[in-house]
């Protein structure tokens, strides 16, 4: 039971590696940027502590970095802290709405 987050984490890492190597599959197939386009480059820039470039590639990189760390560690480190499921859902929905707003802005306004 303690490894139930291991498989999704490995899948996420594999997708991240594939995106680094091959680029965005949606952009390559359809020629349209997806809402997450630039997120991989933003993560890589953030890891190199180049936050200005990271923000340029995708302005929500910081939000998804925080959420990714939370999801990975919530069952291991945060066991004692009970965070309501409704709060997690609300944060997820707000994140998706922000992602769509940024995508629409980048796609149609810039």
Q: What is the reported pTM?
A: 0.68
Q: Residues 81-93: pLDDT tens digits?
A: 777 889 888 988 9
Q: What is the per-residue DSSP string for 10-38?
A: HHHHHHHHHHHHH--HHHHHHSS--TTTT
> SS3 for 95?
helix
What is the tens place of the pLDDT at every residue in 41-80?
A: 898 899 899 999 999 999 999 998 888 888 777 767 666 7
Task: State the DSSP H helix or E strand holding residue 40, giving kind and residue range, or none if neither.
Answer: helix 39-47
**Angle 57-90-65 (CA atoms, 0-180°, nearest 5)?**
30
96 falls in which pLDDT band (50, 70, 90)?
very high
pLDDT average, residue stretch 96-110: 88
Closest CA to 43 of 73, 67, 16: 16
């Amino acid at each position: 039971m303690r490894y139930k987050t291991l498989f999704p984490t490995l899948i996420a890492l594999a997708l991240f590696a594939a995106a680094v190597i091959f680029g965005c599959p949606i952009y390559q197939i359809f020629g349209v940027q997806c809402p997450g386009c630039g997120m991989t480059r933003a993560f890589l820039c953030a890891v190199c502590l180049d936050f200005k470039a990271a923000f340029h590639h995708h302005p929500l990189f910081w939000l998804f970095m925080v959420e990714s760390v939370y999801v990975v560690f919530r069952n291991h480190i945060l066991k004692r802290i009970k965070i309501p499921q409704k709060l997690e859902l609300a944060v997820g929905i707000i994140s998706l709405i922000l992602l769509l707003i940024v995508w629409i802005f980048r796609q149609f306004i810039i």
